[in-house]
Structures are given as structure tokens and as C-alpha cells.
Amino acid sequence: MTESTGGIEMEEDMSGTVKKFAFINRKAPYGTIYALESLEVVLISAAFDQDVSLVFADDGVYQLKKGQATKAVGMKNFSPTYRALEGYDIEKLYVEKSSLDERGLTPDDLIVDVEVLDSAEMAALLEEQDVVMSF
Amino acid sequence: MKFGILINEGPYNHQAADTAYQFCKAALDKGHEIDRVFFYHDGVNNATKLTEPPQDDRHIVNRWSKLAEEHGVDLVVCVAAGLRRGIVDDNLAAGFRISGLGQLVESGIRSDRVVTFGD
Amino acid sequence: MLHIVNKSPLERNALESALRMVKPGSTILLIEDAVYAVTKGNKVEGTVKEAMKTCTVSALWPDLEARGMQDTVIDGVKQVDYSGFVDLVADNSSVMSWL
């Protein structure tokens, strides 16, 4: 995560506004770039002091799988970045239970601590968000 | 009402850019405001002036440029995603500007609604 | 909350996932290839009808028409144009796309 992402200057005073932002991850890593570039948005969002949640559902849960080793495919392994999120005060990571179950995964298979929600709980979480961005 | 728009796919390959454009047009026609259109992932390819579709096809890039010209819509291309894909100031179409991801988050804070178009 | 789905339910699981995670009373808008979901006789017709008991299901008619599916839409599905799409976004407090 060393690319120049820049542009964090505020054009107007929004210092008092705190919105609930959810970033939705439903795609597996490496096969497409969505997971990596989603993470870049998440890191930038930390600078804005918003109430940020990350949601992992469907193949998105594979983003958090332990043991990713990308040397042979020649791509950057960005999975350690999920562990660094805590340092950016991004601590709300939610995973949908049935998505884990369908993939034969448990929370122990994941690289970070997450909160596992059933589908109805996830529906409630999504419902209370102000801004939902999907990648 | 103020809308923020996020576009994650390039033109022609996926309908996302078309749907987003029709949405923006309809919103403006109804008197709403488009706070910003943010181009991310392959969506940055909406911004290259090198695009030359066949004459009987819609010109997606020029359509965006016209939207900026006529309605002052702020068209922002993510710098990091653009650099990855070779979208830089040299080949940027009229009405677009390159800036950081912060502009996406900022638009989310400022807009009444954010709509994502992608694959 | 407005849930937007744009994938054919016969190819991808976006609609299935959305239906699992929507709150009753929500509105689901089908656009692009997702409009095939609201056409009669397709595999998920029953699923869509079930969802219509608790949610409002809308479809973007320009996408139905583009695909030649305008005459086979399941009864009770609300058809909207881009202007109606904008209204749905404005009328719901938030929007989520199931990409």
C-alpha cells in the first residue's frame, strides 16, 4: 500500500460529519483486482474519521484466508494488510456465516479477527449504513 | 438531492458506464445534483481521449465530457488506478481530472446518496 | 434500503445473496443482466415471487426491452425507466449494489 493515493485535502469543512460507511467485498482475491483496490479505498477512508465497516460475503471471505502465498503467481500478497487495519482504527470487520459455511471455512481459517453475522444480522447491519460502496 | 457516483468498469466491455450515464442524465433532468462521478478500477478507462468507437456506436468518453461541459459535473479519475492502467494527464479527455481516492470518500460524506455501478 | 442487482441469476449468485441479506420491506431493483430474473419461466421465477411477498421487486424496462424480454415479465414486478431509477434512489435512505 505505498502507491500515491493523495488528494485527501478537504474542499469544504466536513469535520463534523460522521457517516456510517460500509465497504462490501464479495469477490475473491487475485482472480480480479477488486479486493486489492477495495483495500486501498478502505485505507484512505481511515483519514476521514468516519464510522467504517468492512463486509465480507460470498467469495469475498476468501480475501481473509490464512496462508496466502503469491510468489509463484508473481503477484503481491496483500493479505497482511488486513492485519494492519487495526492500526488505522478500522476494526469493524464482518463476515457472513453462511458464506463461510458454504466454503468449508471457519473463523480460525481467517487471517484477522472478525465478527461473524448470520444473514438476518447482516441485513440489519447493511440497513443502518449511510454509504455503501461495493467493489 | 445530491448524488455521488462510483464507476468500477471500463466503457464498452461492461454496461456499467452506460447505466451510470443514463442515471446521471435522468437525475440532472429531474433537477438533482451530481456531486461527483468517481472512476475507479477499470472505470478509469472511461477517461481516455484515445477512444475511437465506430461511427455508428455511442461515444462513451465524449458523452461524459459533454456532461461535464453542460452541467459542470466533476469527473474524477483515481490516480493510483489510472497509473496502473496508463491513464495519465497526457491522454485524459476533456472535463476529467485526476485525483486521489480521498475524493471518493469525500463525495460519500457530502452526497445524500452514493450509487455504485460495476460488474 | 434500495438493493440493486445487475447479474443474471442463472450465471451468478448476486440475486441469491441479496435476497438472503435484505430486510423485509426493502426494494430490490434489477438492472442490466439481472432483468432476466423477472421473466416468466426462468429458473428463479419462484424465488422472485417468494421475494415479492416481503419486498418490492422492480426492474429497469430499458434493459428488459434491450434484451427482448419486455413481454414476459412476471406479474406484479414494477417496471421503471431511468427516471424511476433515480426516484427509487432518492426515496430510499441508502443504496447498495450487489456487484
Domain membership of residue A7 (yes or no) is no
Q: Is B18 on the interface with A (CB under 8 A)?
A: no
Q: What is the pLDDT, as a whole number, of residue A10?
A: 53
Q: Residue B19 and residue C99: Cβ atoms within 8 Å?
A: no
Residue A61: CATH number of its domain: 3.40.1260.10
Q: Is B104 on the interface with A (CB under 8 A)?
A: yes
In chain A, the residue whose alpha carbon lies closest to the alpha carbon of C18 is A123
Domain membership of residue A81 (yes or no) is yes
Of B5, B78, B87, B98, the active-site residue reads: B78
pLDDT range class, residue A11, cuts 50, 70, 90: low
| SS3 labels along chain B | CEEEEEECCCCCCCCHHHHHHHHHHHHHHCCCEEEEEEECHHHHHHHECCCCCCCCCCCHHHHHHHHHHHHCCCEEEEHHHHHHCCCCHHHECCCEEEECCHHHHHHHHHCCEEEEECC
B 29-58: CB under 8 A from C: 29-30, 32
pLDDT at residue A9 is higher than 60: no
What is the average pLDDT score of chain C? 98
Q: Convert the pLDDT of each residue in A40-69 to its tens digit.
A: 999 999 999 999 999 999 999 999 999 999
B78 carries an active-site annotation? yes
Domain membership of residue A59 (yes or no) is yes
Q: Convert the pLDDT of each residue in A79-129 to its tens digit.
A: 999 999 999 999 999 999 999 999 999 999 999 999 999 999 999 999 999
For the residues C60-86, what does the mean pLDDT come to?
98
Residue with the three cell numbers 455503501: A132
Q: What is the pLDDT, as a whole number, of residue A8?
A: 52
Domain membership of residue A41 (yes or no) is yes
pLDDT range class, residue A16, cuts 50, 70, 90: confident
Q: Whole-angstrom Cα distance, residue C24 to residue C50?
A: 12
Chains with 3 or more CB pairs closer than 8 angstroms to C?
A, B
**Domain residue ranges of chain B, discontinuous segments joined by +:** 2-117
Smallest CA–CA separation between B92 and chain C, in Å?
A: 27
In chain B, the residue whose alpha carbon lies closest to the alpha carbon of A36 is B41
Determine the structural domain holding residue A77 and report its residue range.
20-134
SS3 call for A34:
helix
C30 within 8 A of C60, measured Cβ to Cβ? yes
For the residues C16-41, what does the mean pLDDT come to?
97
Domain membership of residue A102 (yes or no) is yes
ipTM value for the complex: 0.97
Q: What are the phi and psi torsion angles at B46 (to 5°)?
A: -70, -10
**Domain residue ranges of chain C, discontinuous segments joined by +:** 2-97
Total structural domains in chain A? 1
Q: What is the pLDDT, as a whole number, of residue A13?
A: 58
Q: Whole-angstrom Cα distance, residue C39 to residue C49?
A: 11
Choose which CATH entry (3.40.1160.10, 3.40.1260.10, 3.40.630.40, 3.40.50.720) describes domain B2-117. 3.40.1260.10
C83 within 8 A of C75, measured Cβ to Cβ? no
Q: Convert the pLDDT of each residue in B76-99 to its tens digit.
A: 999 999 999 999 999 999 999 999
Q: Is A48 on the interface with B (CB under 8 A)?
A: yes
Q: What is the pLDDT, as a whole number, of residue A6?
A: 47
Give pLDDT < 50 ranges for chain B: none
Q: Residue C96 and residue A135: Cβ atoms within 8 Å?
A: no
Domain membership of residue A6 (yes or no) is no
Q: Whole-angstrom Cα distance, residue B52 to residue A15?
A: 43
Write out the CATH class of domain C2-97: alpha beta
Smallest CA–CA separation between A15 and chain B, in Å?
A: 10
pLDDT range class, residue A5, cuts 50, 70, 90: very low
Q: Please list every residue in chain A whose beta carbon sits closer than 8 Å to the beta carbon of residue B97.
A: none
